[in-house]
Structure 1
Amino acid sequence: MSSDPWGRVDETGTVYVRTSDGEQVVGSWQAGSPEEALAYFERKYEGLVVEIGLLEKRVKTTDLSAKDAMAAIDHIRGQIDEHHAVGDLEALSKRLDALVASVEARREERKAQKAKQTDEARHAKEALVAEAEELAQSEQWRAAGERLRALVDTWKGLPRLDRKSDDELWHRFSHARSAFSKRRKAHFAALDAQREVARQTKERLVAEAESLSGSTDWGPTAARYRDLMAEWKAAGRAQREHEEDLWNRFRGAQDIFFAARSGVFAERDAEQSENLKLKEELAVEAEKLVPVTDLKAARAAFRSINERWEAIGHVPRDARPKVEGRMHTVERAIQEAEEAEWRRTNPEARARAEGLTGQLQAAVDKLRTQVDAARAAGNNAKADKLSRELEGRQALLDQALKGLEEFGG
């Protein structure tokens, strides 16, 4: 019979292991000596020691799940409970008990960590939903659209919650995205419709602008181009692919017209500057007729000057008032001379003037006699009153006599 502190082999080859509950049969050994039997089952014990050590290390240093760890522990414990090795089996059981406690602690730790992660994920998803619902009302279409796409990527990176909570939050999140997409689609559809109307309007404006480009009716056409430009600005923008081409055609038509007008105006300005010189020379010639000494000759000369004036044509607009004013001054002087001559030679007017003068002279003589009579009678009040009346009539008489002189006598 052979033995060691933890086991023995009896004469029949039965191997025993010593425990606190007494000896337990390990197995039967018939293939060799008792020493070899003990050595075999001691090696099995060492194997369990190594296996437990490896499991302890895995539990401590890896992310081995609690389920897998407990399965490994149960497997080793089964071998210990069946007494398939010779050694301090109770020490191994204690190590397994400690390992179970460690696994349970890890399980609780992971459970708390998972709960924390779930709570963080819930708050994160609620924040994403709140932001998405706010963005759903935005009209910053590009920025809001890009932000919503980024929120989707963020959502995908977050852990799932329980099915009900996750589905409810996702439904709100998805609804916000759909609402934004619907509003954006409606906005751009309306914008496309507006741009199509703008395109049609601008096509019409371009057609009219091109039809006017060859016009030589400078004033009205230029005014119409200004109106067309105002209509263009009010029409809004057409689609991007049409806007630039339409503008180039519209602007090109205007450029053709205004370039032609500028050329014509440049020639006209040169011509009008020359006309101004000629009219200024005629104005100098006309001004020599004043003062009028020979009405007939002055009238004939002015008529000749005026005919040459009319034949010359236009002068620059800003110079026109001054040069025409000089001619008008001469013309008024001749007209005044004509009126004076007419008054002097008009028999009816002369007769009326002479009759009026005679009446006023008789009235003055009568009042003077009355004044003298009143003073002689000592009635100074009446004399003063009559004197004031006499002064008025005398003034009228003086004026009438001056008018009569214009008739030559």
Structure 2
Amino acid sequence: MSSDPWGRVDETGTVYVRTADGEQVVGSWQAGSPEEALAYFERKYEGLVVEIGLLEKRVKTTDLSAKDAQTAIDHLREQVDAHHAVGDLDALRARLDKLVSLVEKRREERKAQRAKQSDEARSAKEALVAEAEELARSDQWRSAGERLRSLVDTWKGLPRLDRKSDDELWHRFSHARSAFSKRRKQHFAQLDAQREEARRTKERLVAEAEALSNSTDWGPTAARYRDLMSEWKAAGRAQREHEDDLWNRFRGAQDVFFAARSSVFAERDAEQAENLKLKEELAEEAEKLLPVTDLKAARAAFRSVNERWEAIGHVPRDARPKVEGRMHAVERALQEAEEAEWRRTNPEARARAEGLTGQLQAAVDKLKGQIDQARAQGNNAKADKLERELEGRQALLDQALKGLHEFGG
């Protein structure tokens, strides 16, 4: 008979293993010595030790599922309980029991982790739904659309919830996207209609602008082009493929008109500048007629200057008041000279002046005679009174004589 601390072989070749519950039959061995029998079943034990060690490592270091781990434990436990090995089987059972506890702990941890992940996924999806519903009301079509597409990708990367919760949240999420797409489609349909209306309006404006481009009615046409530009701005933008072409035609028509107008105005400005120079020379010639010494000659000379003045065309508007003012000043001086000459040579006025002078002279002579007579009679008071009256009449006479002198009398 042969034995070791954990087993023995009796004389019949039966192999036993020692356990806490007493000896258990491992098997029988007839092929060799008892030592070989023990060695064989000890190797069986070592195999179980290795398998349990490997399972412990897998449970601790890999993501082996609790179900698969428990299956492996049950398989090993059957082998241990079958007592087909010699060794400390109770120690192996203890390790398996400990491994069961570890697997259960891992199961609970993973359950808690899944619950946490589910809660996080629910919160994340609810946040996505809330943002999608907010974006559904946005008018920022490009950025909101890009953000919604990004939210879909984020949703796809999140774990699924229970079917009912996941379906409800997805329904809200999908509805928000659909609502945004519908509003965006309506917006762009309306925008397309507006742009088509703008295109038709601008086609009409271009046609009128091109029709006016050869006009020489400068003022009204320029004013109409300003009105057309206001109408253009108010019309809004046409489709991109039409807008630039229409604008180029519209501006091109305006450029033709305004280039022609600028050319004409440049010629006119040059002509008016030359006219101003000529009129300034005539104004200087007219000013040399002053002061008037020979009215008849001055009048004839001014008439000649004025005829040449009238033959000259327009001058620049800002220079007109000054140069015309110089001519008007000479004209007023001639008129004043004519009025003075008229007063001097008017026969009726001269006759009235001579008549008045004669009457005053007669009155003065009469008063002088009365004064002499009063003095001779010794009536000095009367003489003094008559002398005071004489002073007044003499003053009137002097004034009348001065006036008469203006008539050359």
Could you report, residue by residue, the CA deviation over 1:45-65 in whole angstroms, capped at 9, with x for unpaired residues? 211111001101111111111
Q: In structure 2, what is the equivalent of residue 303 of structure 1?
A: 303
Query: Which residue in 2 is equivalent to 1:323?
Result: 323
Paired residue for 1:103? Answer: 103
Counterparts of 1:259 and 1:400, CA distance in 2: 72
| Alignment-derived partner of residue 260 in structure 1 | 260
* Map of 1:121 onto structure 2: 121
Distance, in Å, in 2 between the alignment partners of 1:350 and 1:133 is 110
- Name the CA distance, whole Å, in 2 between partners of 1:126 and 1:407: 117
> 3-state SS of the aligned residue for 1:15?
strand
Q: Deviations over 1:254-299 (max 9, x none)?
A: 2222222222222222221111121122223333445556655555
Q: How many residues align?
A: 385
| AA partner of residue 225 (structure 2) | Y
Shift of 1:335: 4.6
Find the aligned partners of 1:155 and 1:166 in 2 and give their Cα distance.
11
CA displacement at 1:191 relative to structure 2: 2.6
SS at match of 2:145: helix
- Aligned match of 2:137: 137
Contact 1:6/1:87 (CA < 8 Å) preserved in 2? yes
> Separation in 2 of the partners of 1:85 and 1:213?
113
Contact between 1:340 and 1:406, CA under 8 Å: does it hold in 2? no
1:192 alignment partner in structure 2: 192
CA apart distance, 1:102 = 0.7
Matched, 1:171 2:171: yes
Q: Which moved more, 1:167-176 or 1:63-72?
A: 167-176
Letter in 1 for 2:274: E
Report the alpha carbon displacement of residue 10 of structure 1 after superposing the two structures with TM. 4.2
Q: What pairs up with 1:8-407 in 2 under 5 angstroms? A: 8-290=8-290, 297-335=297-335
SS in 1 for 2:208: helix
Supply the AA of the counterpart residue of 1:313: G
Q: Give the Cα–Cα distance (whole angstroms) in 1 for the partners of residues 178 and 76 of structure 2.
A: 57
Q: Partners of 1:148 and 1:259 in 2: how far apart?
A: 53
The alpha-carbon distance between structure 1 residues 267 and 101, as it changes in their structure 2 partners (threshold 3 A), is same
Contact 1:286/1:305, CA 8 A, preserved across alignment: yes
What SS does the corresponding residue of 1:17 show, helix, strand or coil?
strand
Mapped partners of 2:262, 2:304: distance in 1: 35
The percentage of aligned residue pairs carrying the same residue is 88
Supply the distance in 1 between the matched residues of 2:272 and 2:399 (Cα, whole angstroms).
50
In structure 2, C-alpha distance between the alignment counterparts of 1:348 and 1:40, rounded to whole Å: 176
- Contact 1:17/1:85, CA 8 A, preserved across alignment: yes
Task: Give the partner amino acid of 1:234.
Answer: A
- Tell me how far 1:337 sits from its aligned partner: 5.4
Distance apart, 1:19 and its partner CA: 2.7
TM-score by length of structure 1 reads 0.78
Gap change, CA 1:248 and 1:400, over 3 Å in 2: farther
Partner of 1:201: helix, strand, or coil? helix
Indicate conservation of the 8 Å contact 1:66/1:103, yes or no: yes
State the Cα distance separating 1:221 from its structure 2 match: 2.2
The one-letter amino acid paired with 2:305 is I
Distance 1:73 1:271 in 2: 116
How far did residue 97 of structure 1 move? 0.3
TM-score, normalization by structure 2: 0.78
SS of aligned partner of 1:27: strand
The 1:123–1:211 alpha-carbon spacing in structure 2 relative to 1, beyond 3 Å, is same
The one-letter amino acid paired with 1:27 is: G
Paired residue type of 2:326: R
Q: What is the CA–CA distance in structure 1 between the aligned matches of 2:400 and 2:185, rounded to whole Å?
A: 95
CA 1:349–1:68: 2 relative to 1, 3 Å: farther
Check 1:268–1:109 CA distance in 2 against 1; reply closer, same or farther (3 A cut): same
Task: State the one-letter code of the partner of 2:101.
Answer: A
What amino acid is aligned across from residue 42 of structure 1 in structure 2? E
| CA offsets 1:356-385 (integer angstroms, 9 cap, x no match) | x9xxx9xxxxxxxxxxxxxxxxxxxxxxxx
Distance change (3 Å), C-alpha of 1:231 and 1:345 = farther
Q: Distance in 1 between matches of 2:124 and 2:404?
A: 115
| Structure 2 segments unaligned to the other structure (5+ residues) | 361-391, 393-397
What is the distance in 2 between the residues matched to 1:187 and 1:406? 95
1:375 paired residue number:
none
1:404 shift after superposition: 10
CA distance in 2, matches of 1:289, 1:145: 88
CA RMSD, aligned part only? 3.9
